[in-house]
Amino acid sequence: MKKNNLYNLSGEIKNCLPEKMKEKSKRSKLEEFLNIDIKNIIKDDARLIVEDLRDELAKHNYYYYIKDNPVISDHQYDMLLRNLSMIEKKYPELITEDSPTQRIGAPLEGGFSTVEHGERMLSLQDAFDYQELNDFLTRIYKDLIRGENEVEFICELKIDGSAVALVYEDGKFARGAP
């Protein structure tokens, strides 16, 4: 049985967690993961937390994709993934091929033919505040527009788990690709 790596032998929460979380309380593991003090985390603690965060994300992937019964909100999942990503950014040597930060989506079912996208599908990459949205717009203007003065955006409600490009020719559906 795997021991919980966030706790030392006496059961106290490790120092990388915020002061308010060091108090013995009934806080859930999820709350602890959501409140990690990434700025002050040291490498040894980061290594242990990364393992536990990956396990936690794998558990939630199972409930979401296999059981079709998520037990946390999409926002909470995104924040767990973001914390893992920030720790891996701080300590790149902790990145592994099987990390959830290195995968996109769920495995596809077989039986589909390959379709090449005519245009690149872009994403905000989880912009949670104005600055991250502004950074996205800066990348768009710098990398894609290349000097064009105007660009139009269409904003739509995000439906998690779905990304598809549908092509219609002469008003009729021709093909679709994830």
Residues known to be catalytic: 158
Structural domains in the chain, CATH included, are: 19-102 (1.10.287.610), 130-177 (no CATH)
* pLDDT greater at residue 27 or residue 49: 49
- How high is the pLDDT of residue 165? 78
Distance of alpha carbon 118 from alpha carbon 111, whole angstroms? 22
Residue by residue, DSSP assigns 63-81 as IIIISS--SS-HHHHHHHH
| Structure tokens, 131 | 């600055």
Query: Is residue 156 scored above 90 in pLDDT?
Result: no
Query: Tens of pLDDT along 8-30?
Result: 444 444 555 555 544 444 458 88
Q: pLDDT tens, 104-143?
A: 665 555 666 777 777 777 666 677 788 888 888 888 777 7
67 and 58 in contact (C-beta within 8 Å)? no
